[in-house]
Structure 1
Amino acid sequence: MSDDDDQWYYSLSDHSVRRGKDAPALDRMGPYPTKAAAEAALTTVRARNEAADAADREWNG
């Protein structure tokens, strides 16, 4: 088992959390170190996008 097979991934197609790369690459987010981190993937992405959008607004004045 490779290191990536021991990581957690979030599946965009069925919103499941899986260990290992069993979903197609374009359908998964990760890797995440824990199952809980993978379960929070969409929340994490949303927060990062909001922070990046705020930084862009500040940069653009």
Structure 2
Amino acid sequence: MTQWWFNHKTGEVEEGPQSLGVDRDGPFDTREQAEHAPQIAAERARAWANDDASEADRG
């Protein structure tokens, strides 16, 4: 099964892990998912920040 990666350094989607791990996100099951990697990462970062803020408010 093919896996897809998003390379942050080049902004390109890669079929299979072609670049250094530090430069890429993945694996993704589809090319379309890999194309949206920056948005997915931003959404997850916002969710983690909200969770951290909630924990700080309770603490």
- Please indicate, yes or no, whether the TM-score normalized by the shorter chain is above 0.5: yes
How far apart, in 1, do the equivalents of 2:30 and 2:18 lie? 16
SS at match of 2:42: helix
Answer yes or no: is 1:14 the counterpart of 2:10.
Answer: yes
Q: Which runs of 5+ in 2 are unaligned?
A: none
- Runs of 4+ aligned residues of structure 1 deviating over 2 Å after TM superposition are none
SS at match of 2:9: coil
SS at match of 1:9: strand
For 1:54, the aligned partner's letter is: N
Q: Which runs of 5+ in 1 are unaligned?
A: none
For 2:10, the aligned partner's letter is: D
CA apart distance, 1:33: 0.5
- TM-score normalised to structure 2 length: 0.90
1:56 paired residue number: 52
2:22 paired residue number: 26
Residue identity over aligned pairs, in percent, reads: 26
SS at match of 2:6: strand
The number of equivalent residue pairs is 57
- TM-score normalised to structure 1 length: 0.87
